[in-house]
């Protein structure tokens, strides 16, 4: 089956057709664009040019933390997000040696961030791709803005639109990320177990 040709569509038209993924999400598609909205999170688009197949993930943390929410952290971290995306592509016939990447996000949209999550996410993505031998063809990291990213898995094209943080939808992202960061800064609660 031949993948659809989206070359005549504008990014806005692609966005209307796209599957939206949230933090911790990922998707491998052959016939539909994928989109996500990023703050300090990072999205990596991987593409196999021979198969004309790609996918995108969205992660909030560079690696697994030791917080009280460890089960949630697993699906939100870069280690998991990168492995699951690569494995999903391999399951559909892609070969790791052919994969190329485009990556976006890592904004520093909350001035009070103590953990510099955006910078850490961007650094993690670059280091992970380099370590795995996957060329990073394009990227847009950092800055004081959010991003809307659209990935076209059938062509490997990716579009990134920066958005000022004053918009209401971006304010919601900032609030959610700040609350999550604050939960990570609190010491983990340990339960006391008594043996009898």
Domain ranges for the chain, please list them. Answer: 11-185
Confidence of residue 72 (pLDDT cuts 50, 70, 90): very low
**Residues labelled as active-site residues:** 41
- Token readout for 71 is 């089960």
Using alpha carbons only, what angle is made at residue 85 by residues 28 and 82, rounded to the nearest 5 degrees? 150
Task: Give the DSSP H or E segment for 163.
Answer: strand 157-164
Q: Which pLDDT does position 112 carry in this prediction? A: 47
pTM for this model (two decimals): 0.78
Task: Indicate if the pLDDT at residue 53 is higher than 90.
Answer: yes
Buried/exposed 75-100: b ≥16 CB within 10 Å, e otherwise: ebbbebbbebbbebbeeeebeeeebb
167: Cβ contacts below 8 Å, ≥ 6 apart: none
Q: Which pLDDT does position 177 carry in this prediction? A: 63
Does CATH number 3.30.1330.200 belong to domain 11-185? yes
Task: Indicate if the pLDDT at residue 23 is higher than 50.
Answer: yes
């Amino acid at each position: 089956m031949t993948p659809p040709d989206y070359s005549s569509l504008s990014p806005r038209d692609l966005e209307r057709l796209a599957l939206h993924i949230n933090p911790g999400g990922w998707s491998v598609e052959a016939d539909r664009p994928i989109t996500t909205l990023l703050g300090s999170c990072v999205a990596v688009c991987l593409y196999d040019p021979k198969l004309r197949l790609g996918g995108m993930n969205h992660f909030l943390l560079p690696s697994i933390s030791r917080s009280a929410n460890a089960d949630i952290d697993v699906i939100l971290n870069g280690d998991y997000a990168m492995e699951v995306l690569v494995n999903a592509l391999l399951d559909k016939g892609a070969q790791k040696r052919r994969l190329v990447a485009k990556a976006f996000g890592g904004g520093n949209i909350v001035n009070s961030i103590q953990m510099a999550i955006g910078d850490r996410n961007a650094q993690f993505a670059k280091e992970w791709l380099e370590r795995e031998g996957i060329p990073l063809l394009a990227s847009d990291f950092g800055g004081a803005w959010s991003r809307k990213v659209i990935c076209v898995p059938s062509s490997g094209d990716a579009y990134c639109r920066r958005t000022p943080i004053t918009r209401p939808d971006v304010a919601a992202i900032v609030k959610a990320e700040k609350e999550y960061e604050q939960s990570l800064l609190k010491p983990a609660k340990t339960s006391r177990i008594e043996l009898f």
